[in-house]
Amino acid sequence: MTTLIAAKDSSSIEDAENIRKACKGFGTDEAVLISILAHRNVAQKKLVRMAYEELYQEDLIQQFKSELSGSFERAICNWTMDPAERDAAFINEALKKETPDYKVIIEIACTRTSEEFLAAKRSYQFQYKHCLEEDVASKTIGDFRRLLVVVTSAYRYDGDEFDENLAHSEANILHQVIENKAFNNDEIIRILCTRSKKQLCSTFIAFRNMYGTTITKGLSTDHPNDEYMEALRTVIRCIKNPRRYLAKVLYYALNDLIAEEHALSRVIISRAEKDLNEINDLYFQRNGITLDSSVAKKTSGNYMNFLLALLGNN
Amino acid sequence: MTTLIAAKDSSSIEDAENIRKACKGFGTDEAVLISILAHRNVAQKKLVRMAYEELYQEDLIQQFKSELSGSFERAICNWTMDPAERDAAFINEALKKETPDYKVIIEIACTRTSEEFLAAKRSYQFQYKHCLEEDVASKTIGDFRRLLVVVTSAYRYDGDEFDENLAHSEANILHQVIENKAFNNDEIIRILCTRSKKQLCSTFIAFRNMYGTTITKGLSTDHPNDEYMEALRTVIRCIKNPRRYLAKVLYYALNDLIAEEHALSRVIISRAEKDLNEINDLYFQRNGITLDSSVAKKTSGNYMNFLLALLGNN
């Protein structure tokens, strides 16, 4: 369930005019921007952006970039983007780092539906004049590359059917890979990155039933290629229970346990209109504190106000 | 340019009724089927199939399967299908063979546009409840798998932009791969399977200018893994000049130089409404005989009549 409280009747022209007023003149009235944007859904935001472009011949996001700064600017811009455009931008940014941020890439490739991720790939091509897969391939090496190219390339089947026999036989293959510590085996990449999510969940259950342990535990042994192992586990976690994975990312971000600075706003912005409510519940169950309280403790100013508004606080 | 001579004004209801008449009763009037279907374009065929289903509660293709046989049945059924449905079926069939027919898979992945191939992947999921990539991955092994998974997964950028510096640097990488005979190197797969076709053509030209030989010649050295090398060359040929590649497939098929029995009808049916005219010209330039004459020599009966009609012979 969404945490977004979207306005029932909003006028995109009025919104555009009010945003213009808030941006022009001395300083920027951030409170006005929050009061409008944090209460508009995808379709409404799209219309506001079109109206703004029509009225002022300027792209709303460019406007924000020139007026705002820091985490607030970033959050407002990302939120104003279309989800596919935003996911493409997240991946592009992750690839631009000196060491590409594989976790962000896997998170987006594996927690979106096949159609959502395909839309992100289309948008990536439109924005960057390259395909996402070629940039992933040219900016990574070795086992990582093999994993990331397949995980971002495959257009997974999204249906509900799965095959229990296949789940058993592939649980067995995965077990052999783990037993032999052959973690860069092509089989593990093939199974994790091309099978449908329903099929994989069935394989993970079969694995637990057959071997009395979870596959992520099996992949937690000491191994020289630790980061790659962590990437495999990330794929599994994102597929097995994307909400739990995202709740964990939020916890890590709010407790300075990950270096990646944008995780907090990425997850909140990506899920506010989808299932942030359920993620919030999982967060509370695990940490005994609500996401809102953690955000309020950790952040401040306009950035805090904006995130809290997206979390459903008026 | 198309070789198809499509009827200017056809009625899908009348077509469906005439097909029904030709199929029912004693025997089947194949000439009627040819006279209708070989002169309908994609949109017209779609409407006829819908009208047939509406009128007789039967799928037209199932009807043909029960009435016809052999190469003619196959050709009529494939031609009646939507192009995406047909490509998905070709790949599914290629994967079902004891040794998957990698050339068919590469031909379809690399001679279609990105959007056409994506449509085939969607149709594959719809028809077989699996994603194409997972079936490719589970039915192939080793270097072949690596190549085929990436070639079928990547959603290549289809735009016209290319980067000459990149072309030079990647021509150099490919040359090193060839020099070191490291043909299963990930770099060659990455470059051939994820870069846009325009970028690759620029890389192939750079390669020839820099090293005085074509890259396919460089990949023609003796090597224990011959089939895999041939697969790499097939990818290159399909991207460099798809029409010339398809003209060659037709030549091989018409001269019993390939084991794969369905190549002739696959290429004619896939291209009749696109560029079979140009393919025909290339065929003539190379072989000094028109495609029509070769088809007339090699085939016979209804199958011949149907293919010749698709080739523009009334």
Closest Cβ opposite residue B155 in set A121, A137, A196: A121
- On whether B25 is known to bind a ligand per the annotation, the reply is yes
Closest Cβ opposite residue B153 in set A122, A154, A186: A154
- On whether A25 is known to bind a ligand per the annotation, the reply is yes
The verdict on a CB contact (< 8 Å) between A138 and B196 is no
CATH number for B164-240 (one of 1.10.220.10, 2.60.120.460, 3.30.230.70, 3.30.2290.10): it is: 1.10.220.10
Closest Cβ opposite residue B130 in set A121, A138, A157: A157
pTM above threshold 0.90: no
The verdict on a CB contact (< 8 Å) between B131 and A190 is no
The verdict on a CB contact (< 8 Å) between A153 and B155 is yes
Write the DSSP assignment of B141-184 as a string of letters: -HHHHHHHHHHHH-----SS---HHHHHHHHHHHHHHHHTT-TT
**Is the pLDDT score of A314 beyond 90?**
no
**CATH classification (class only), B12-68:** mainly alpha
pLDDT of residue B61: 96
pLDDT of residue B260: 76
Which chain A residues are within 8 Å of B131, Cβ to Cβ?
Answer: 154-157, 194, 196
What stretch(es) of chain B map to CATH 1.10.220.10? 12-68, 83-153, 164-240, 243-310
**Is the pLDDT score of A17 beyond 90?**
yes
- On whether A299 is known to bind a ligand per the annotation, the reply is yes
Burial string for A210-228 (b: 16+ CB within 10 Å, else e) reads ebeeebbebbeeeeeeeeb
CATH of domain B243-310: 1.10.220.10
The predicted model gives A26-30 an average pLDDT of 85
C-alpha–C-alpha distance, residues B234 and B213, integer Å:
17
**Is the pLDDT score of A307 beyond 70?**
yes
Q: For residue range A269-301, what is the model confidence (pLDDT) as tens digits?
A: 999 999 999 999 999 999 999 999 999 999 999
Which runs of consecutive H residues, i.e. helices, occur in chain B?
A: 12-23, 30-37, 42-56, 60-67, 70-80, 83-96, 102-111, 114-128, 132-139, 142-153, 164-179, 186-194, 197-211, 215-218, 226-240, 242-254, 263-271, 276-287, 291-298, 301-310
**Is the pLDDT score of A135 beyond 90?**
yes
Give yes or no for a contact between A284 and A291, defined as CB atoms under 8 angstroms apart: yes
Which chain B residues are within 8 Å of A150, Cβ to Cβ?
Answer: 133, 149-150, 153
* Numbered residues of chain B with Cβ closer than 8 Å to any chain A Cβ: 114, 118, 121-122, 125, 129-134, 137-138, 142, 145-146, 149-150, 153-159, 161, 186, 190, 194-196
Q: For residue range A83-102, what is the model confidence (pLDDT) as tens digits?
A: 999 999 999 999 999 889 99
The predicted model gives A13-37 an average pLDDT of 91
The verdict on a CB contact (< 8 Å) between B157 and A194 is no
pLDDT of residue B89: 97
What stretch(es) of chain A map to CATH 1.10.220.10? 12-68, 83-153, 242-299
**CATH classification (class only), A242-299:** mainly alpha
ipTM confidence score: 0.72
pLDDT of residue B314: 67
Mean of pLDDT over chain A = 93
**CATH classification (class only), A83-153:** mainly alpha
**Is the pLDDT score of A225 beyond 70?**
no
pLDDT of residue A260: 76
pLDDT of residue B8: 86
C-alpha–C-alpha distance, residues B193 and A176, integer Å:
30
Closest Cβ opposite residue B129 in set A121, A157, A195: A157
The predicted model gives A119-146 an average pLDDT of 92
Write the DSSP assignment of chain A as a string of letters: -------SS--HHHHHHHHHHHHSSSS--HHHHHHHHTT--HHHHHHHHHHHHHHHSS-HHHHHHHH--HHHHHHHHHHHS-HHHHHHHHHHHHHHSSS--HHHHHHHHHHS-HHHHHHHHHHHHHHHSS-HHHHHHHH--HHHHHHHHHHHH-----SS---HHHHHHHHHHHHHHHHTT-TT-HHHHHHHHHS-HHHHHHHHHHHHHHHSS-HHHHTTS--S-HHHHHHHHHHHHHHH-HHHHHHHHHHHHHTT--S-TTHHHHHHHHHTTTTHHHHHHHHHHHHSS-HHHHHHHH--HHHHHHHHHHTT--
Rg, chain B, Cα only: 21
Which chain B residues are within 8 Å of A129, Cβ to Cβ?
Answer: 157, 159, 161
Non-local (6+) Cβ contacts of A205 within 8 A are A167
**Count of CB pairs separated by less than 8 Å, A with B:** 104
Average pLDDT by stretches of 10, chain B with 314 residues? 88 94 86 95 95 95 93 96 97 93 96 96 94 92 90 92 95 93 85 95 96 91 78 96 96 87 94 96 95 95 96 85
